[in-house]
A and B are shown apart, each in its own frame.
Chain A
Amino acid sequence: LAKTTQPISMDSYEGQEVNITCSHNNIATNDYITWYQQFPSQGPRFIIQGYKTKVTNEVASLFIPADRKSSTLSLPRVSLSDTAVYYCLVGEYGGSQGNLIFGKGTKLSVKP
């Protein structure tokens, strides 16, 4: 399973765009990139998933360069409620067991 590296923490202000980058240098051909959000004392919540180029949904965008060795989660116009830990996961979408291995995550703090 590809190892991921993210910044431990980030600070932002309400209304700003936040970009969190994840490095995954040994990503495999069959690996997808998935981001989850976790609030304290809650289970993780799926945000977005992609394989290459750009993916956008109603809450975020995911940018993946051609070499796929990194990815950037973009949160437009964050609010206080976006304060959470964000995890980048890399692995086969299903795989033989589809194990989801979590790294340390990025703690995002949004200030007023």
Chain B
Amino acid sequence: GAVVSQHPSWVICKSGTSVKIECRSLDFQATTMFWYRQFPKQSLMLMATSNEGSKATYEQGVEKDKFLINHASLTLSTLTVTSAHPEDSSFYICSARRALNTEAFFGQGTRLTVV
């Protein structure tokens, strides 16, 4: 299967700072990437969908000014958590698909801890 890589795998940051998480499709071009958040013992919650070269579409209740998503190329999408607070501590996972009618591949996730 195709490989999707996230970086970093884990990060600890101070409250009020911003953190950037990268999601790369290593061996394919991803027209669409998805970002999820997962709290302990809960399911994945879709945050936003991004298509290369266009603005991301955010799910209801997700603050787009707080969670900045950029999909500048067909192999890279970034999620920036701005002015992070302890309640933003979570497991963030990205997913990518080549095109319509293809399966989605997931990254290994990024554990964010805000102290």
Contact = CB atoms under 8 A, between A and B. Distances in A.
Given A41-B91, A43-B107, A46-B1, A102 B100 contact: no
A49 B57 CA distance: 26
B60 interface: no
A100 interface: yes
Interface stretch (A10-18, A19-27, A67-75, A87-95): A87-95
Interface residues of A, number: 22
A87 B93 CA distance: 15
Given A42-B109, A104-B43, A97 B103 contact: no
Given A42-B108, A45-B106, A93 B46 contact: no
B101 A105 contact: no
Interface residues of B, number: 30
Interface of B: 1, 4, 6, 32, 34, 36, 43-46, 49, 51, 57, 91, 93-95, 97, 99-109, 111
A99 B97 contact: no
A100 B32 contact: no
A61 interface: no
A49 B111 CA distance: 28
Interface of A is mostly: loop
10 contacts: A43-B94, A43-B107, A43-B109, A44-B44, A94-B97, A94-B102, A95-B100, A97-B49, A100-B95, A102-B45
A80 interface: no
Nearest to A45: B106
Contact of A99 (B4, B46, B91, B101): B46
A105 B1 CA distance: 23
Contact of A103 (B4, B43, B111): B43
A43 B108 CA distance: 5
Given A94-B97, A102-B45, A104-B43, 6 more contacts: A46-B104, A49-B103, A97-B51, A98-B97, A99-B46, A100-B34
A83 interface: no
